[in-house]
Structure 1
Amino acid sequence: MQLRRLASFFVVLAGLVTASVSAYAADPENTMIITLKDGDVTIALRPDLAPEHVAQIKKLVRDHAYDNVAFHRVIDGFMAQTGDVKFGNMNKGFNAQAVGTGGSDLPDLPAEFSQAEHYKRGVVGMARSQDPNSANSQFFIMFGPAPPLDGQYTIVGNVVSGMDLVDKIKKGDEADNGTVTDPDRMIKVRIAADK
């Protein structure tokens, strides 16, 4: 009996989490669509968790700063990192030695860590240096859970469709911290409200 109640609780909890993420996906103003070589990945942005980070991402998207930016660091089973608009644009200014060290012309952001949300498959987080207040434009999409990141990196969204396409992003060399030679890119990035 106790086991059945516990199972019912988890079913209800899973439904609430799904409904919560789906609610964000239904908001075109906070839905980011990344076109990859194999199709579109839809991300529900989470201004409820990280309003400043989400606002900066949306500004960069609307400035077309993310278009043609490489997935420069991709570690199988862990995450795919992109968003270095300074050194990662594969059509202009791509720098294989510097990609991953740059950001944008916008200011770095103060940390907006969440204790309630966890790093698991499909979560989108902001990359940063050792300084917790150094996130700028780079972000990563999780392939699987990573509890050590919880409360240490700002969560900005969740993939709601196209995770199978994220799985196909070219992986990097694990011996070289996931550095990718001839990387895949975000071909185009847009906010769903901007038809």
Structure 2
Amino acid sequence: MRYSRILGLMLASLVLTTGLGGCGQQFPGAAAGQTVKKTESGGTKVESSQTKDPIVTIEMENGGIIKIELYPKTAPNTVKNFISLVQKGFYDGLIFHRVIPGFMIQGGDPKGNGMGGPGYSIKGEFAANGFDNPLKHTRGVISMARSNNPNSAGSQFFIMVGDAPYLDGQYAAFGKVIEGMNVVDQIANVPRDGSDKPLQPQTMKTVTVDTFGVNYGPPEIIK
């Protein structure tokens, strides 16, 4: 019963209170065609020799860097939406408003309280919503937060700190951290209040994307 209660609380943390809606400490092994290298900051970096998928760079206000490789073949419209918001500067200055050690960090809300979004939503690209998305919610994976409505994701996202197989097929995973998991871990473990909001703002100073010359176009949205 205790495990079920904890599991329920974790799932609830990814469900926003409005309709606009997020442990292993070891970095996962590299996939085929990838190598893992140590960075100067002591973190780890996964380098791929087989892909030119978009790379998003989150620069934290304290100088920390998180790089995320997006998977347009896995969740095409979700990736289009994320790239579109990044290119508009939507995420610049926003915070990670909910952090749970061993589970995830969640951000992307312009209100900073879990109830904001871009003013629209997108279709949820995950199995429970009729979309074949095989990406599992393992450490480092980025996924879209949403409410109970499967098509309510907008701008809020979460980055996995640990593995959470019970989220597979329930949320639209669309990429993975390739550098800066040490920064993600630091954010996940800061002091927080009873709502899992950091006591000191964990601010994304700038969020940029390198599409390697590819124009992914606008996302299909639900107004």
* Displacement after TM superposition at 1:18 (Å): 4.2
Q: How much is the aligned-residue C-alpha RMSD, in angstroms?
A: 2.6
1:75, 1:171 within 8 Å by CA — same for their partners in 2?
no
Q: Is 1:111 matched with 2:137?
A: no
Higher helix share: 1
CA shift digits 1:117-142 (9 cap, x unpaired)? 21111000100001111000000111
Match for residue 190 of structure 2 among 164, 171, 176: 171
AA aligned opposite 1:73: R
Q: Is 1:124 matched with 2:142?
A: yes
Distance in 2 separating the partners of 1:123 and 1:111 = 16
Q: How has the CA–CA distance of structure 1 residues 15 and 159 changed in structure 2, closer, same or farther, with 3 Å as cutoff? A: closer
TM-score (norm 2): 0.68
Match for residue 57 of structure 1 among 82, 89, 94: 82
2:52, 2:212 within 8 Å by CA — same for their partners in 1?
no
* Corresponding residue for residue 44 of structure 1: 69
Q: How has the CA–CA distance of structure 1 residues 21 and 134 changed in structure 2, closer, same or farther, with 3 Å as cutoff? A: farther
* Displacement after TM superposition at 1:53 (Å): 1.1
Q: How has the CA–CA distance of structure 1 residues 63 and 14 changed in structure 2, closer, same or farther, with 3 Å as cutoff? A: closer
Distance in 2 separating the partners of 1:154 and 1:110 = 9
- Runs of 5+ unmatched residues, structure 1: 1-12, 89-98
AA aligned opposite 2:168: D
TM-score (norm 1): 0.77
2:33, 2:49 within 8 Å by CA — same for their partners in 1?
no
* Displacement after TM superposition at 1:194 (Å): 8.2
* Displacement after TM superposition at 1:193 (Å): 4.4
- Runs of 5+ unmatched residues, structure 2: 1-28, 36-45, 127-131, 214-223
AA aligned opposite 2:171: Y
Alignment of 1:1-195 (within 5 A): 15-16=31-32, 18=34, 22=48, 27=52, 30-36=54-60, 37-85=62-110, 87-88=111-112, 99-105=113-119, 107-113=120-126, 114-169=132-187, 171=190, 173=192, 176-193=194-211
Instruction: Name the count of aligned residue pairs.
Output: 168
1:75, 1:177 within 8 Å by CA — same for their partners in 2?
no
Instruction: State the 4+ residue runs in structure 1 displaced beyond 3 angstroms.
Output: 17-21, 170-174
CA shift digits 1:70-92 (9 cap, x unpaired)? 1000000000000012x13xxxx
